[in-house]
Amino acid sequence: MDPVLVRYPVRIVEKDKALAGAAKAGIELGSWFECPLHPVETPLSAYDYQIGMCPEAERAAGQVVNLPLHPRAGERTARRTVDFISRFTQVTSKPSA
């Protein structure tokens, strides 16, 4: 199997700030899954979902953006996107051995 990715998901901090800044800078960032039940307009109560039932999905919805992988996203676009999104990634240190 050789999957073709449409977008590449990245977990970031300050998602709203990153999306707003990207739009102003002409950087294409996507945000597809805004809540644990997609789309965001889905009434959670219709599925007996209560906030806190899926904490990782809720956290991901608030942190994940996606990067373009379409043919128009050439090397220059990729570099600009990575340079921009790097400001919103969180570096964590690895525990020492």
Q: What is the pLDDT of residue 33?
A: 85
Whole-angstrom distance, CA of residue 46 vs CA of residue 49 = 8
Instruction: Please list the pLDDT of the chain residue by residue as tens digits (97 residues).
Output: 787 788 899 999 999 999 999 999 999 999 988 888 888 888 999 999 999 999 999 999 999 999 988 888 889 999 999 999 999 986 554 555 5
- The residue count of the chain comes to 97
pLDDT at residue 69, as a whole number: 87
* Closest-CA residue to 28 (of 87, 75, 89, 85): 85
Would the pTM count as exceeding 0.85? no
| All domains of the chain in start order, with CATH | 7-68 (3.90.1150.10)
Q: Which residues pair with 95 in a beta bridge?
A: none
**Contact in structure between 80 and 86 (CB atoms under 8 Å):** no
pLDDT score, position 1: 79
CB 82 within 8 A of CB 24: no
Q: How far apart are CA 37 and CA 57, in angstroms?
A: 9
Q: Are 9 and 83 in contact (CB under 8 A)?
A: no
